[in-house]
Amino acid sequence: MSAEPPGDLPDVPMAQPVLGTEEEELVLEVLRSGYLSLGPTGPRFERDFAAFVGTPYASAVSSGTAGLHLAVRAAGVKDGDEVITSPFSFVASANVIAYERATPVFADIDPVTLNVDPAAVAAAITDRTTALLPVHIFGYPADVPALETHGLPIVEDACEALGARHADGVAVGARGHAAVFGFYANKQLTTGEGGMVTLGDEATKARIDSERNQGRAPDMGWLDHDRLGFNYRLTDLQAAVGIAQVQRLPQMLADRAAVAGRYREALAPLASELDLQLPCEDHDGDVRGWFVFVVQVPRGHDRDDVIRALRARGVQSKPYLPAIHLMSYYRETYGLREGMFPVCEDVAARSIALPFFPAMRQDQVERVADALREALRGS
């Protein structure tokens, strides 16, 4: 397709972290202290983060994936078990089930919230089901209260949902189940790489703290290990960045929500005239923690053509997210195929993540909206 060259305008990037002198000063302090890992900064970050979410315990880990892995182990998942999860997620939420040689069992999603449909989960439960792993996709709260009625252990993938709140007023991550947050550079809070598991009980925190540190027991000598563990530790340098990020979190979350509001306004004509589908509005009391702004192109348009047309206009975007059950590893390992989760497949084929970050300006939002209008007209 032909398009005007973007000219001198810089590209609108997908994401951009908010970092300042507070992060720099805290990192310098840690550097000068000499305690680069297993020092006092990690526990301080855990306390600050737990206080923000409103949960008694939190364990810092090296990534969201590492946190999900340890949380799945702590839920007692083992070889041959089934764990029910969403096919519309970042691949890590299913991979961690496979790490423990359990089978990820997918249940289709709700077309509005894009989270796993509680009725589909109920239908997928068998006597081999030992845990449920809902994902709060794009920051919209999954219906965890409905999943709680089954009495199975729940591990929440909250990696995209910092700042989200359930209808009953409880923050995502504070229901008492293990909930996992991710701190990669595009997340609401970043430490470069990193993650946090929020927890309602001390025993689970003790287990996760041990397994992230080679299985070392807190009261044992350095070389005595009474269980299998990993090196999933977050460094004190990363924790220092995290502490400063927790302080700016209310502002960063408010800025993300404001950018989402500007997008809604700028894209409203495309929604009504061209049937572009916008992220669902908060409803029934649930509150989204804004992470990405994902639109679904109208049926009949080629999503990848739209992405190329945006690119030609200096706007980055991504197909987000591809369905996990259609990835070759999952097809081949678990015998999955097209047609099994039709809602997820339809949404995944039409979804595009647009540039989205707290400092995004009104003119950048408008540029994306203009580019998207041209792209849809021409695709």
Ligand X SMILES: *Cc1c(COP(=O)(O)O)cnc(C)c1O
Catalytic residue numbers, as ranges: 187
Q: Are 250 and 355 in contact (CB under 8 A)?
A: no
User: Nearer Cβ to ligand X, position 70 or 368?
Assistant: 70
Consecutive H or E run containing 59: strand 57-61
- Report the residue number whose CB is nearest to ligand X: 64
User: Nearer Cβ to ligand X, position 159 or 368?
Assistant: 159
Distance CA 344, CA 341 (A): 6
Contacts of 55 by beta carbon, 8 Å cutoff, 6+ apart: 171, 173, 174, 179, 198, 199, 200
Pairing relationship of beta strands 293-296 and 351-354 according to DSSP bridges: antiparallel
| CA torsion, ordered 366, 368, 374, 376, to nearest 10 deg | -120
Helices (H) and strands (E) in the chain, counts: 13, 10
Enumerate the β-bridge partners of residue 315.
12
Smallest distance, ligand X to C-beta of residue 215, A: 21
User: Nearer Cβ to ligand X, position 188 or 277?
Assistant: 188
What sign for the dihedral angle of Cα 85, 87, 88, 91? positive
User: Nearer Cβ to ligand X, position 140 or 263?
Assistant: 140
Q: Are 140 and 288 in contact (CB under 8 A)?
A: yes
Neighbours of 358 (CB within 10 A): 20
Pairing relationship of beta strands 178-182 and 195-199 according to DSSP bridges: antiparallel
First-residue to last-residue Cα distance in the chain: 8
User: Nearer Cβ to ligand X, position 197 or 270?
Assistant: 197
User: Nearer Cβ to ligand X, position 144 or 372?
Assistant: 144
Residues at the contact surface with ligand X, assessed by CB under 6 A: 63-65, 89-90, 92-93, 135, 157, 159-160, 182, 184, 195
